[in-house]
Structure 1
Amino acid sequence: MAKNPVQYLCSECGWSGAKWFGRCPECGQWGTIEEFHEARPAARARTGGTGSGAGARGVGGEAGRVSHTQATRVPDGVALPITRVDTSTVERIGTGFSEFDRVLGGGIVPGSVTLVAGEPGIGKSTLLLETAGNVARAVASARHANTVLYVSGEESQAQVRMRAQRIDAVEDNLLLAATTDLATVLGLIEQTRPALAIVDSAQTITSQDVDGISGGSTQVREVASALIDVAKTIDVPVLLVGHVTKDGSIAGPRTLEHLVDVVCQFEGDAETALRMLRAVKNRFGPTDEVGCFDMSGEGIEEVTDPSGLFLSSGTDGSDDGSDNGSAPSSPDGTCVTFTLDGHRSLPIEVQALVTDSVLPTPRRAANGIDANRLAMLVAVLHRHGRIGILANDLYVSTIAGGLAKEPACDLAVAAALASAANGVAVPRGTCAIGEISLTGQIRPVPRLEHRLAEAARLGFVRAVVPVNRRRGRTLSAPGMDVVEVATLRDALEALGVAHKTPKAPRTGKPSSHSPRSS
């Protein structure tokens, strides 16, 4: 019986079957099953005989499997010892952005295919068009005959030119093309052989040789396979723009991410100008790097030192110029911590507001902080820190779109809540780093020395950190006073935001309203 060329494929997990389902039986997602037409093979040649010999019978007399692909004669030199493979000719191409090069592992590798995905309006096309202008400008200054090709399937040539003028990316050797036909795109790449090819986007390019709508699983897979083939054949790097779904995942089949060499996620909040570029997959470099960019009316600008973006005035370690001799303090309800994002250590300012609740159920509002983590910290503060805020409305947030979801930010969140509840500010130039357990213990965090070094560079003079459990090593940072604590109660006292026990009456009799001594 001939095999049915029509298959049904799940765009989320890659499940395939001969019957359509409204819900994928593998991953359980709804509406992800799409029709896929397999290409018909030309002629099938069998290897081995079909008689009664060993070629037609397997072990035990049963019919063995027969392959439809014959082996071919391979010339000498195709397989080489790994020590004889020459990599000296591989020279990375700079994008003109040091942050972009950092994420890629040092630049664009010739012959590679990089997928840049992100939400609509986040700045993917602007970033790549400005990259195209930088590469074209570098090629022209080096007096190379190569050009840069930018293919847009979403905008016309005039629209791309207008955007290029706004971001100063107009160059003579930057070629613009507006087409949605895959054959035309491949012909342009083979004809011009550019130093860099950019295709915007994978979901808008279609092939006339396969069925399916634009952006479907069949079309996206064919577009990606064809671009990868031409990139490897003529050694031209390709930057491919990818759309995302409503849940933030890359649109199209998961095989798209497996086929390409590098997958970068362009993230950011539409309400802020900060943009983050992360490497989800990288065959030529690390995947724990992150690049910071600033979105403005003139285009994309890289931010080489993003530390100042996440701190407000009055909470950093710098001097405010006061000459009254007293140490300046931060506002009530604020505390600074340091979180890791790739190889970078970024300061995060946590702000908290504690008010009396007039609702039957007190309100909990969190921005940039996990709500479940906040509920746990409030319970631990009540039980082990003697900070009774269970009946209050709590509002906790970070500034500038920073994320304090790492466990190392627990101590700063607890300190901000205690500071807001007691009306006592954390001293300026003090940061708190540590994870809080349910028993009230302060647990160690990874790469603490790296965080302290960044804090010292920004001017912080005091840090409250977990006790170093590695004997023989002392935590230190230049110009900083490192205070090691073991419990939440000790940490709040070191930060100066612990609950103050009221004085007993002068009669000598203990007050019935005074809290139990610790």
Structure 2
Amino acid sequence: MAKTKTQFMCQECGYVSPRYLGKCPNCGRWNTFVEERISEPKEERKSRVSFEGKKSKPQLIKQVSMAEEPRVKTAMEEFNRVLGGGVVAGSLVLIGGDPGIGKSTLLLQMSGQLAATGRDVLYVSGEESATQIKMRADRLKVQSENFYLYPETDMKNIRDSIEKLHPGFVVIDSVQTMQEPDIESAVGSVSQIREITAELLQISKTNNITIFIVGHVTKGGAIAGPKILEHMVDTVLYFEGDLHHTYRILRAVKNRFGSTNELGIFEMREEGLREVSNPSEIFLEERLTDANGSAIVVSMEGTRPILVEIQALITPTIYGNAQRTASGLDRNRVSLIMAVLEKRANLTLQNQDAYLKAAGGVKLDEPAIDLAIAISIVSSFRNQGTEATDSFIGEIGLTGEIRRVNRIEQRVNEAKKLGFKRIFIPKNNLQGWSAPKGIEVVGVATITEAIHKAFN
């Protein structure tokens, strides 16, 4: 009898070793190696063949026919925006998020809305029974004649059911619970996830079926499984939020059919997820009018302008080195702006601890937030508040100049719509357009000029 060959594979990055290792030399994680059998290579390789037996072949690009409806819109405009305008036919979408954040709720609501368009939807669950899903569906008021539930984990049976029903949409909840019978490894291992995703990709592309995959996340916040999983799919969405708060953020980190900067905001209620059409009001509703260390910025998230409050707390340090802590902001960006303020605005911040955050749990990473960060730091350092109806937009250079930003008209109009009376923008952004009535637009060229006009 031939000796069984085994290997050890890291469950975090997919690194293969002939022997067990405590620490992975590739990703540096501890105790992530799992023993797996090495299966004999198969002579028959999977090719892209549809359920009707059609094989892919080379063809001229002008001969490629487009679908009549390249995108299918759901009733959730926030979901459509994140996907780039709607669900693309034949796409493979991966949705990740923390346990209990609402991934299954989001997909169940979305499945009911897609089924209402007249197309069949197959919801495959490896974690819940059909009765449990039905209980949640009744609570969410999801009912449709085209909605099929299928509690199954065997990938062969799932493929047969897809071939039999030929639905327009398939939901796999979750990929870590599915099992490929031909792969001799544990459920949820790197090999299983890789092969299952590859088969789902083949089904999606050859039969023009849109497939949504739910992926668990690790403690570090990344989707569990090999990194190749995110490279194989068309779109990667992260469902974020705080379990102690009702608001959820759906963010695209990869999208072959749209922008990767879009985000959708939802509120979790008893009857399910409700869209938040004006998120700026949420981020500003609890702002104190006379508080110091606060500044409002109009940030662009994809094509949407959002007003966010940036808060800063500057206190004298009691340690040898001053601390720099940021939540929702890049810590390195905060350190850079504080260095510019100390050098160009003559503020002594080297002996001050700095704590900054973007209120509401949103993450900001565009250059246009620099001026608001600087103003909030100056406000807290001087213990002097800014005007409640002021907002700030601009990128700060190392020489203290305020550099131009994009989409300035949309930003100013959003601030005016929410009742702001004055907005500070880069001086170079004043050209080529006219400011709307009802809001004063102040152009500033340097950080010193901005500080002088904001606090005088």
Q: TM exceeds 0.5? A: yes
Scaled to the shorter chain, the TM-score interval is 0.7 to 0.9
Name the CA distance, whole Å, in 2 between partners of 1:208 and 1:314: 56
The amino acid of 1:412's aligned partner reads A
* Aligned residue in 1 for 2:405: 445
* Aligned residue in 2 for 1:338: 298
* Aligned residue in 2 for 1:507: none
| 2:272 corresponds to 1:303 | no
* Aligned residue in 1 for 2:386: 426
Q: What's the CA shift for 1:199?
A: 1.1
| 2:110 corresponds to 1:131 | yes
Q: Larger radius of gyration, structure 1 or 2? A: 1
Q: What's the CA shift for 1:313?
A: 5.4
* Aligned residue in 2 for 1:252: 225
Name the CA distance, whole Å, in 1 between partners of 2:399 and 2:357: 25
Moved more, 241-250 or 408-417: 408-417
Q: What's the CA shift for 1:154?
A: 0.7
Contact 2:405–2:429 (CA under 8 A) maintained in structure 1: no
| 2:435 corresponds to 1:477 | yes
* Aligned residue in 1 for 2:256: 283
Name the CA distance, whole Å, in 2 between partners of 1:340 and 1:236: 33
Residues 90-101 of structure 1: pairs in structure 2 closer than 5 A: 90-101=69-80
Q: What's the CA shift for 1:88?
A: 4.3
Residues 26-37 of structure 1: pairs in structure 2 closer than 5 A: 26-34=26-34, 35=36, 37=38
The amino acid of 1:398's aligned partner reads A
* Aligned residue in 2 for 1:509: none
* Aligned residue in 2 for 1:165: 138
Q: Secondary structure at the match of 2:370?
A: helix
Name the CA distance, whole Å, in 2 between partners of 1:263 and 1:357: 42
List per-residue Cα deviations over 1:182-208 (Å, max 9, x = no partner): 122122222222232111000001122
| 2:51 corresponds to 1:85 | no
1:457 aligns with one of 401, 412, 417: 417
- CA distance 1:95–1:18, change in 2 (3 Å): farther
Q: CA RMSD in A?
A: 3.3
Name the CA distance, whole Å, in 2 between partners of 1:283 and 1:380: 38
* Aligned residue in 1 for 2:48: none
* Aligned residue in 2 for 1:151: 124
Residues 199-348 of structure 1: pairs in structure 2 closer than 5 A: 199-312=172-285, 330-348=290-308
The amino acid of 2:156's aligned partner reads A
Contact 2:313–2:377 (CA under 8 A) maintained in structure 1: yes
| 2:168 corresponds to 1:195 | yes
Name the CA distance, whole Å, in 1 between partners of 2:94 and 2:409: 34
Name the CA distance, whole Å, in 2 between partners of 1:364 and 1:123: 33
Q: Secondary structure at the match of 1:138?
A: coil
Name the CA distance, whole Å, in 2 between partners of 1:88 and 1:393: 57
Provide structure 2 residue ranges, at least 5 long, that are not aligned to the other structure. Answer: 46-53
Which of the pair has the greater relative contact order for Cα pairs under 8 Å at 6+ separation?
A: 2
Provide structure 1 residue ranges, at least 5 long, that are not aligned to the other structure. Answer: 45-74, 140-145, 316-328, 498-518
List per-residue Cα deviations over 1:367-397 (Å, max 9, x = no partner): 3333444344444434433444554554433
* Aligned residue in 1 for 2:96: 117
Name the CA distance, whole Å, in 2 between partners of 1:314 and 1:217: 46
Name the CA distance, whole Å, in 1 between partners of 2:70 and 2:336: 51
The amino acid of 1:254's aligned partner reads K
- CA distance 1:88–1:389, change in 2 (3 Å): closer
The amino acid of 2:309's aligned partner reads E
Contact 2:112–2:144 (CA under 8 A) maintained in structure 1: yes
TM-score by length of 2: 0.85
Q: Secondary structure at the match of 1:468?
A: helix
* Aligned residue in 2 for 1:417: 377
Name the CA distance, whole Å, in 2 between partners of 1:294 and 1:160: 21
Residues 18-29 of structure 1: pairs in structure 2 closer than 5 A: 21-29=21-29
- CA distance 1:462–1:210, change in 2 (3 Å): same
* Aligned residue in 2 for 1:384: 344
* Aligned residue in 2 for 1:401: 361
Q: What's the CA shift for 1:437?
A: 3.7
The amino acid of 2:107's aligned partner reads L
* Aligned residue in 2 for 1:495: 454
* Aligned residue in 2 for 1:322: none
Q: Secondary structure at the match of 2:334?
A: helix
Q: Percent identity?
A: 40
- CA distance 1:475–1:93, change in 2 (3 Å): closer
Q: What's the CA shift for 1:89?
A: 3.3
The amino acid of 2:308's aligned partner reads I
- CA distance 1:402–1:208, change in 2 (3 Å): closer
The amino acid of 2:151's aligned partner reads A
* Aligned residue in 1 for 2:87: 108
Name the CA distance, whole Å, in 1 between partners of 2:55 and 2:440: 67
List per-residue Cα deviations over 1:470-514 (Å, max 9, x = no partner): 9xx3564312322222222211111016xxxxxxxxxxxxxxxxx
Residues 29-68 of structure 1: pairs in structure 2 closer than 5 A: 29-34=29-34, 35=36, 37-42=38-43
Q: Secondary structure at the match of 2:81?
A: helix
The amino acid of 1:92's aligned partner reads R
Q: What's the CA shift for 1:360?
A: 6.8
Q: Secondary structure at the match of 2:71?
A: coil
- CA distance 1:262–1:376, change in 2 (3 Å): closer
List per-residue Cα deviations over 1:389-444 (Å, max 9, x = no partner): 55455443332113344432222222223223334332232111223344433333
Name the CA distance, whole Å, in 2 between partners of 1:76 and 1:243: 33
Aligned length: 445
Name the CA distance, whole Å, in 2 between partners of 1:284 and 1:127: 21
- CA distance 1:493–1:264, change in 2 (3 Å): same
Name the CA distance, whole Å, in 2 between partners of 1:461 and 1:19: 67
